[in-house]
Amino acid sequence: MKVLMVAPGYVIHAQRPLHWLLEKGCNVTFVDWANSNPMTENRDNYKYLQFPSPRGSRFYGIIGKKVANWTAFWTEVYQLWFLKKKINPDITHIHWVDHHAFKCVKARMSPLILSVWGSDINQLFFRDIDGEKRRLIGQTLAAADTVIVDAVDIIERCNILAGCEIRAKLLPIGIDMGLFRSGYARAALKWRRKLKIPSDSRVLLSPRSWERIYRHEFILEAFAKALSRLKTSTYLVFKKTDMRDNHDFVIYEKELIQRAYELGINKQVKLIPWVPYEQLPEVYGFADMIINYPSEDAFPMTFIEASACEKPVISCRLPAYMDTFAEKYFRMVKPGNINELSDAIVEELNGNVTGNTKNMIKARRVVEKKYDEKIYIQGLLNIYTSLI
């Protein structure tokens, strides 16, 4: 099977499906617009290409901005069409829906599968996005043969954008249940030593990406309010994102550090550097409680990973989380209510540890049945086969 895969290569949600397809013997041409080849080893069934860009575009300004944009757009579309004719893929699979996906639609790539990741759709509802971009994304979704989502509420939003009922498939990417599990005691101890956290102290971990939509500043404020009421010495740990060439991430980090000093809790707040995906279970391993408080979200991998590692979770209550195992097994609080979040931190960390452990053992069993990555792999191959 020949697969044309279009995605930002530096993102783990693209890397994992790519590796699975190669392991299953598919011939994959990976087209990336972020200039980041996700494969380091040579494989006969893998080819990497950069997303087309119009040559000589720096000279387009002399013919006017509108004409320049039109020329650049259709030049890229033609290059994609030529690429499709040359490769002649059985399936085109695009991860993350934006103007790159729209250009693939205009290049008449088919059968066409879109994998939405949540933020690509949610931003059109929660942020000030111009109507032209909404129209563009809507047309892209409507044209797809299958749209893969990981939360039911994302299907509803896709339907609104498309102006019709899209051909959707609920298929979470899942995790490696052998990798994400309880344990990792030795690695956890090393992390505590590295961060200078005493072994008898407790750790509250905020593991989401280093972006403002994940509201780490709200978590910081809630922790400051909770600290004096906690029975045991407790540290708040943030897991940083790979911040190469991202000025916004750097500014955000400085703001959080400054605020921790202003609140007088800087000694209780730790930042750990970006870690590769394979090391994430170790990070969960040294935490006692996971905290999640975004302003918008799809169904996050954090919930699945934490449950597999049998770590209790405090989270805000968002639409994407409702009617899922998270609602049953996690502590849910109102969005935008720092006092309620602070009270939840106190109650959970001062509460029944044994009860939390039993609860998360049950949560892991749910994850094993519904979110094992093997389910995603087989489901994806089934979608490919049905469309071919």
Decide if 179 is inside a domain: no
* pLDDT for res 95: 97
Give the bridge partners for 30, in sequence order.
Answer: 5, 48
* pLDDT for res 63: 55
In this structure, are residues 137 and 98 in contact, taking their beta carbons and an 8 Å threshold?
A: yes
Decide if 308 is inside a domain: yes
How many whole angstroms separate alpha carbon 311 and alpha carbon 272?
Answer: 18
In this structure, are residues 84 and 92 in contact, taking their beta carbons and an 8 Å threshold?
A: yes
Decide if 180 is inside a domain: no
Indicate the helix (H) or strand (E) that contains 234.
Answer: strand 234-239
Decide if 339 is inside a domain: yes
Name the residue among 154, 157, 189, 182 with its Cα closest to residue 170: 154
How many whole angstroms separate alpha carbon 332 and alpha carbon 4?
Answer: 40
Decide if 9 is inside a domain: yes
Name the residue among 264, 285, 324 with its Cα closest to residue 183: 285
**What's the pTM value of the predicted model, to 2 decimals?**
0.90
Backbone angles phi, psi at 50, to 5 degrees: -85, 145
Quickly list DSSP for 314-354.
Answer: EEE--GGGTTSHHHHHSEEE-TT-HHHHHHHHHHHHHS-HH
Same domain flag for 295 and 191: yes
Name the residue among 81, 59, 80, 84 with its Cα closest to residue 71: 59
Bond into 111 cis (ω within 30): yes
Instruction: State the amino acid at position 268 in one-letter form.
Output: Q
Same domain flag for 224 and 80: no
* pLDDT for res 316: 97
Same domain flag for 153 and 57: yes
Same domain flag for 295 and 164: no
User: What ranges in the chain are assigned the alpha helix state H?
Assistant: 12-23, 65-87, 99-106, 119-126, 131-143, 152-162, 185-195, 216-227, 247-263, 280-285, 301-308, 325-329, 338-350, 353-370, 373-387
* pLDDT for res 191: 95
Same domain flag for 297 and 157: no
Name the residue among 356, 225, 221 with its Cα closest to residue 287: 356
* pLDDT for res 67: 73
Q: Give the total number of structural domains in the chain.
A: 2
Same domain flag for 112 and 238: no
Decide if 109 is inside a domain: yes
* pLDDT for res 356: 81
Q: How far is CA 231 from the centre of its chain?
A: 34
Same domain flag for 304 and 343: yes
Beta-sheet strand order (sheet of 91-95): 46-50, 27-32, 2-6, 91-95, 112-115, 146-149, 168-170
* pLDDT for res 153: 87
Same domain flag for 206 and 313: yes
The torsion angle over the Cα atoms of residues 335, 339, 345 and 351, rounded to 10 degrees, is -120
Name the residue among 311, 275, 277 with its Cα closest to residue 292: 311
How many whole angstroms separate alpha carbon 373 and alpha carbon 19?
Answer: 12
Same domain flag for 193 and 145: no
Residue with tokens 């993102």: 11
In this structure, are residues 100 and 80 in contact, taking their beta carbons and an 8 Å threshold?
A: no
* pLDDT for res 68: 72
Same domain flag for 192 and 132: no
Residue with tokens 């690695």: 187
pLDDT < 50 positions in the chain: none
| CA end-to-end distance (rounded Å), the chain | 9
Classify residue 64 as exposed, middle or buried by CB count within 10 Å of its CB (0-12, 13-18, 19+). exposed
How many whole angstroms separate alpha carbon 375 and alpha carbon 1?
Answer: 20
* pLDDT for res 41: 83
CATH of the domain at 116: 3.40.50.2000
In this structure, are residues 380 and 5 in contact, taking their beta carbons and an 8 Å threshold?
A: no
Same domain flag for 158 and 108: yes
Domain limits for position 61: 2-174+373-387
Neighbours of 255 (CB within 10 A): 14
In this structure, are residues 209 and 118 in contact, taking their beta carbons and an 8 Å threshold?
A: no
Same domain flag for 366 and 226: yes
